[in-house]
Amino acid sequence: MKEELFTKRLVLRKIQTSDAAALFNIWSDPAVAAFMNISAFTSESQAVEMIDLLNELAETKQAIRYSVFDLHSKEIIGSCGFNAINAENARVEIGYDIAKAHWGNGYAPESVQALIDEAFINLGINRIEAKVEPANINSVKVLQKLRFTFEGTLRQYEKVKGNFVDIHMYSLLKND
Ligand SMILES: CC(C)(COP(=O)(O)OP(=O)(O)OC[C@H]1O[C@@H](n2cnc3c(N)ncnc32)[C@H](O)[C@@H]1OP(=O)(O)O)[C@@H](O)C(=O)NCCC(=O)NCCS
């Protein structure tokens, strides 16, 4: 798996410990954490632990996370990557987040498009999945822009802050 992916405005670089401070700023924002599978971080050490975990998963090819850098400012504006890589079935799940200050500039669709191209062209992936809470309208818009198909509702699929919540399953196939 590549350590760097370029887009017109961004570079996706495999996440590293030195990114922790910048990613902590993003992951400590309740507006960003709201629909991720995390509570908003309260200490930078949590970002370090998350990065270590993601890189352990990368070593065994179960996942890979990239920090998203603005090519112009060199600043980290988010992260994205493949969770749950299922080689046997040529299937991956994607995840993404962008710092609130940078929302609305199309950075998430641009980052995810790079993941899609990498998955279908270089990684031999056939199906890309995205699981979204229905209330996460911003994320649904990203998936619609990228022409993902809504497949249905996974009823009470996740326990979020003590409550079971429905999850919407979206997918994009290589031959879509
Ligand atoms: C979902 C997310 C990644 C979208 O990133 P983005 O780079 O802003 O994506 P886009 O620029 O395509 O904007 C998507 C939608 O967000 C909404 N949006 C844009 N700017 C916004 C702002 N400043 N405040 C609130 N909503 C905004 C708009 O409805 C936009 O749709 P539109 O382009 O049709 O108007 C980002 O909102 C985010 O990080 N959310 C928290 C983490 C998360 O939910 N991750 C996905 C888990 S499934």
Going from the N-terminus, what domains does the chain have, and what CATH number goes with each? Answer: 4-130 (3.40.630.30)
Instruction: Name, in order, each residue with C-beta under 8 angstroms of 84's C-beta and a sequence gap of 6 or more.
Output: 62, 63, 92, 93
Strands of the 76-86 sheet, one edge to the other: 4-6, 10-14, 64-70, 76-86, 91-98, 127-132, 163-173, 149-160
pLDDT tier for residue 130 given thresholds of 50, 70 and 90: very high
Q: What spacing in Å lies between the alpha carbon of 37 and ligand 1's midpoint?
A: 17
Q: What spacing in Å lies between the alpha carbon of 14 and ligand 1's midpoint?
A: 22
- Range with the lowest mean pLDDT among 1-5, 126-130, 144-148, 170-174? 1-5
Q: What spacing in Å lies between the alpha carbon of 31 and ligand 1's midpoint?
A: 11
Reported in sequence order, the residue ranges of the chain that DSSP labels E, i.e. its strands, are 4-6, 10-14, 64-70, 76-86, 91-98, 127-132, 149-160, 163-173
pLDDT of 38-68, one tens digit each?
A: 889 999 999 999 999 999 999 999 999 999 9
In this predicted structure, the answer to whether residue 122 has a pLDDT above a threshold of 90 is: yes
Q: Which atom of ligand 1 is nearest to the CA of 139?
A: 1
pLDDT of 78-104, one tens digit each?
A: 999 999 999 999 999 999 999 999 999
Strand-strand pairing, 91-98 and 76-86: antiparallel
Q: Which atom of ligand 1 is nearest to the CA of 136?
A: 44
Q: Give the model's pLDDT for residue 1.
A: 86
